[in-house]
Structure 1
Amino acid sequence: MKLLWRGALLVGLLGLGACVQSPLVTAPVTNPSGSSNHPRFAPPPGVASQWDAQLGVYVVGGASHLYYRERTYYRWNSGWSWASNPQGPWLPTDSSGVPPGLFRRYAQ
C-alpha cells in the first residue's frame, strides 16, 4: 500500500513539474540594424522607431510626439488622438485610450 502511495505521489509531482514555465522575457532585443525592439510588440511598418520601455511604446522617428503600439499610432497635440496610419485620419481620444506610460508622461 505504501509503495502505491509513493508511486502516486511521484507521478503527481512529476506532473506538476511539467506545468512550470520559464518567465516571459520582457527586456528589449537589439536587432542587427541597431534599433531596439520589444519581443512582444512589433515595430511600426515602414518608419524608423525606437522602443521606449518607460513609455511602453515605440517612439516614431522624424515626428514630434508620435508613438506606436499594437497597430495603432498615438499623437499628442494639446490632447490625444489615434490612427491606424501615421498620416491619419486622426480620431480624438482621452487618456484612457492611450497606453499608461504615455498617459503618465503627459499628465497635467
Structure 2
Amino acid sequence: MSRLLRGVVLVGLLGLGACVQTPLATAPVTNPSGSSNHPRFAPPPAVESQWDAGLGVYVVGGTPHLYYRERTYYRWNSGWSWASNPQGPWLPTDSSGVPPGLYRRYAQ
C-alpha cells in the first residue's frame, strides 16, 4: 500500500512540475531612433504630436501649450486645466493634477 501511495505522490509532484512556467526571454521595448512616439504611452488620437522625454508627455502640434498623456489632455493658460478631448470641456486643476515634467516647466 505504501508503494502505491508513493507512486501517487510522485505522479502528483511530476504533474505540478509541468505547471511551472519559465519566463520567456523577450527583447526590451525601445524607442527607435527618430521616432516621435513613446514605447509605453500611446500618442493622442487624430492629432499631430511628438513625444517630449523631458516633459514626459506628447506635445500636441498646432496648439500652443497643449499636451497629452494617458487619455488626458493638459493645457496651460495662466493655470492648468485638463480634458479628455482637445476641444474640451476644460476643467481646472492645480499642479498635482499634471505630470511632473509639465509642472516643472511652468513652475513660477
Aligned counterparts of 2:28 and 2:84: Cα–Cα separation in 1: 28
Q: CA deviation at 1:29?
A: 3.5
- Identical positions, percent: 80
Q: CA deviation at 1:24?
A: 5.1
Match of 1:57 in 2: 57
Aligned counterparts of 1:85 and 1:95: Cα–Cα separation in 2: 20
Give TM-score scaled by structure 2 length. Answer: 0.72
Q: CA deviation at 1:35?
A: 5.1
- Aligned partners of 1:47 and 1:60 also within 8 Å: yes
Q: CA deviation at 1:23?
A: 8.6
What are the residue-to-residue correspondences of 1:1-108 with 2, within 5 Å?
Answer: 25=29, 27-29=30-32, 36-108=36-108
Aligned counterparts of 1:23 and 1:85: Cα–Cα separation in 2: 34
What one-letter code is carried by the residue in structure 2 that aligns with 1:89?
Answer: P
* Residue ranges of structure 1 left out of the alignment (5+ in a row): 1-14
- Number of aligned residue pairs: give it: 88
Aligned counterparts of 1:23 and 1:100: Cα–Cα separation in 2: 29
SS at match of 1:103: helix
Q: CA deviation at 1:50?
A: 0.2
CA deviations on 1:33-54 (whole Å, 9 max, x unpaired) are x751001000000000000000
Structure with greater Cα Rg: 2
Change beyond 3 A, Cα 1:92–1:24? farther
SS at match of 1:81: strand
